[in-house]
A and B are shown apart, each in its own frame.
Chain A
Amino acid sequence: MEDLVLTPGQYAQLWNGALATVRILAGAFALGLFLSLVVGVGRLSERKWVRGISFGFVEFARGISSIILLTIMVIAIPILLGDVFPWLRGRSVAVLGAIALGLNMGGYGAEIIRGSILAIPKGQGEACIALNLSPTQRLRFVVLPQALRIILPPMGNLTIEILKGTALVSVVAGFDLMRATQNLIAGMLAQGALGVTVLFINVLFIYFILAQGVNGLFRLAERVLDRRFEQRTGRSAVPINVAATAGS
């Protein structure tokens, strides 16, 4: 068992790497979720040009491989667009990497959102029209709250895919868990293949824990949502005063 344990110094490095990975993931997730919502809803817009742009984005974001997107984002974009968006210049690889992964996630996430909106029975939208809700109100108060329950499981899977994708950031010279691992390997060659294997087993385990963390968060969200659905029984959100109203 002891053979599988690394030194505290090595763990410290891996810890830094893991933190960097989580930060990249969080940034990619925030952007990805935002894009998913906007583009997913846009795919169903009544306006043709909105549908067109959304469709174009989805095809772009899904069609281009993550590693190529990352490379373009990190190397080419600051040069190409740096003049127009000065903000892009001098951004860290982590930030640019998170943007690339977020774009990637947005493409897949948009399709998840679109699918879940389409899964809501047509009668729900018709009831909204009959009550004269605006299209935005329909989405916000009726469709999305119901769609959320359908969105969560595939969105959790997608987030884990993106977690795995963060390892690619090391390829374009960013710092993350994978890069920390590679740095350690460089200093471990003397220990031979066994040492490297032990290192990778540890790294594997850390990725596993991170994935379980993501899983856990999504499960929790699902449970909170389910409980909100069920729990509206007896106990009153609205005080009931039958005597006062029945006679009127």
Chain B
Amino acid sequence: MSTNVTETDRTDLSDKGAASVRFRAVDKAFGSLTVLENLHLDVEPGERVVIIGPSGSGKTTILRVTMTLEHIDAGTIQVGGQHLYHEETSAGSLKAASERHIRKVRSNIGMVFQHFNLFPHMSAIENVMLAPVKVHGTSREEAQHLGMELLAKVGLAEHANHTPGQLSGGQKQRVAIARALATQPSVMLFDEVTSALDPELVGDVLKVLRDIAEEGKTTMMLVTHEMGFAREIADRILMFDKGRVVESGPPSQVLDDPQEDRTRSFLGAVAEH
């Protein structure tokens, strides 16, 4: 396999540090269904934000528009001070970003999915090495070294040559996390990364998330229904409903002393399960 890297694709894999994420007046609709409406949200560098809220409230959509899996209809998103969907013209106004610009800014963002989305035809280590080698132009040796380090970090060094089909759900998700970490993103997005797992496998994955949080190298935006974990890891909890932030604050406030009825009823419903 030859590498397919052009100069412009190359992004430095050295530590970039955590980055901020700023949403300004973001709208997103699917057909006639408005999912995000005039969303304003600031996530500070290194901050760990947990998004909670009822099903269909737009939690996944926030992460997906940040990863550019869906494009926004209006407003702006900035990651690390750079516009994601816009470029500044020489006159200082904003115009729609080129695909190339989006790719450049996107290289700072990583995402872990609910259903892992590992590449089934590649071993764990190949999954982890793919982006460093093909996108960032890292040498295979270096990428392999980095990849093995990451797999060791998520407790899967012995499984490096296993394909996803040979791994349990929890192991798959940890490989997926290692794969996302391999590009050293400044912002990481986690969408219900434990909700497809058997209960006894959740702990291993949460431990890995704690480790990432502890290192503090990346900003984390997490959607989760694990309230205990949210309390433990979050700097701030966002209660989301109908595409708007209903309430926002530290876990002690939002979870223990919610100010809004909507939050109270949601937490009540979650607690019953």
> Of B115, B121, B149, B152, which contacts A145 at CB under 8 A?
B121
Q: Which residue of A lies closest to B112 (CB)?
A: A130
**If A123-B115, A142-B119, A232-B123 touch, does A131 touch B131 (CB 8 Å cutoff)?**
yes
With a cutoff of 8 Å between Cβ atoms, the chain B residues found around residue A248 in the complex are 149, 152
CB neighbours of B195 from chain A (8 A): none
* Of A7-15, A66-74, A78-86, A132-140, the one with at least 4 CB within 8 A of chain B: A132-140
Using known A-B contacts A123-B115, A234-B161, A246-B157, determine if residue A132 contacts B107 with beta carbons closer than 8 Å: yes
A124–B110 Cα distance when bound, in Å, is 15
Interface of chain A: mostly helix, strand, loop or mixed: helix
- Give Cα A90–Cα B58 distance, bound, in whole angstroms: 66
> Do A136 and B4 contact each other (CB < 8 Å), given the known contacts A131-B131, A245-B149?
yes
Q: A140-B4, A141-B130, A229-B121 are in contact. Are A123 and B148 (CB under 8 A)?
A: no
Confirm or deny: B160 has a beta carbon within 8 angstroms of a beta carbon on chain A.
yes
Chain B residues numbered 71-120 whose CB sits less than 8 Å from any CB in chain A? 103, 106-107, 109-111, 113, 115, 117-120
Query: Is there an interface contact between A124 and B119, defined as CB atoms closer than 8 Å?
Result: yes
A190 adjacent to chain B (CB < 8 Å): no
- Interface residue A238 (Cβ < 8 Å from any Cβ of B): yes
Decide: A233 near B161, CB < 8 A? Known: A130-B111, A131-B179, A137-B135.
yes
- Is A191 close to B, CB under 8 A? no
Q: Per-residue CB proximity of A234-248 to B under 8 Å, as 1/0?
A: 111110111001101
A146 within 8 A of B: yes
Q: When chains A and B are docked, how far (Å) is the Cα of A145 from the Cα of B127?
A: 14
Q: Of B4, B149, B151, B165, which contacts A137 at CB under 8 A? A: B4
List 6 tightest A-B contacts by C-beta distance, closest first. Answer: A123-B117, A127-B117, A131-B131, A130-B111, A245-B152, A245-B148
With A127-B117, A129-B67, A232-B163 given, is the CB distance from A246 to B152 under 8 Å? yes
Q: Closest residue to B114 on the A side, CB-wise?
A: A123
A59 within 8 A of B: no
Q: Does B26 belong to the interface (CB within 8 Å)? A: no
Does A161 sit within 8 A of B, measured CB to CB? no
Binary contact track A101-131/B, C-beta < 8 Å → 1, others 0:
0000000000000000000010110110111
Q: By the criterion CB–CB under 8 Å, are B149 and A141 in contact?
A: no
Residues of B within 8 A of A129 (CB): 67-69, 106
Q: A132-B135, A240-B148 are in contact. List 7 more A-B contacts (CB 8 A).
A: A123-B117, A132-B103, A228-B121, A232-B123, A236-B161, A238-B148, A245-B145
A171–B68 Cα gap in the complex (Å)?
A: 56
Contact-residue size bin, chain B (C-beta under 8 Å from the other chain): 35 or more
| Contact present for B117 and A235 (CB under 8 Å) | no
B9 is an interface residue with CB less than 8 A from chain A: yes
B153-172 residues with Cβ-Cβ distance < 8 A to A are 157-158, 160-163, 165-166
Q: Which residues of B contact A131 (CB under 8 A)?
A: 110, 130-131, 135, 179-180, 183
Contact A132 B106, CB 8 Å, known A123-B113, A124-B119, A141-B134: yes
Among A124, A234, A240, A241, chain B packs the most CB atoms within 10 A around the CB of A240
Shortest beta-carbon distance, B163 to chain A, in Å? 5
Q: Which residues of B contact A228 (CB under 8 A)?
A: 121
Tell me, yes or no, whether B57 is within 8 Å of chain A by CB: no
| B238 part of interface (Cβ distance < 8 Å) | no
| B149 surroundings in chain A (CB, below 8 A) | 245, 248
Query: A145 to B1, alpha carbons, bound, how many Å?
Result: 13
**Residue from A132, A140, A229 with most neighbouring chain B CB atoms (10 Å):** A132
Asked if A130 and B180 sit within 8 Å, CB to CB, the answer is yes
Q: How far, in Å, is B10 (CB) from chain A's closest CB?
A: 11
Say whether B125 faces chain A, with CB atoms less than 8 Å apart: yes
Instruction: Determine the distance from Cα of A142 to Cα of B134 in the docked complex, in whole angstroms.
Output: 12
Q: Which residue of B lies closest to A242 (CB)?
A: B157
Nearest CB of A to B195, in Å = 15
Quick check: is B144 within 8 A (CB to CB) of the other chain? yes
Shortest C-beta distance, B116 to chain A (Å), equals 8
State A246–B54 Cα separation when bound (angstroms): 40
Residues in chain B near residue A126, CB distance under 8 A: 67, 69, 113, 117
| 6 A-B pairs in the complex with CB atoms less than 8 angstroms apart | A130-B110, A131-B130, A131-B183, A228-B121, A229-B121, A238-B144
A37 to B86, CA, bound (A): 34
Q: Is the CB of A229 within 8 A of B117?
A: no
A124 to B144, CA, bound (A): 22
Report the minimal beta-carbon distance from B30 to chain A, rounded to whole angstroms: 15
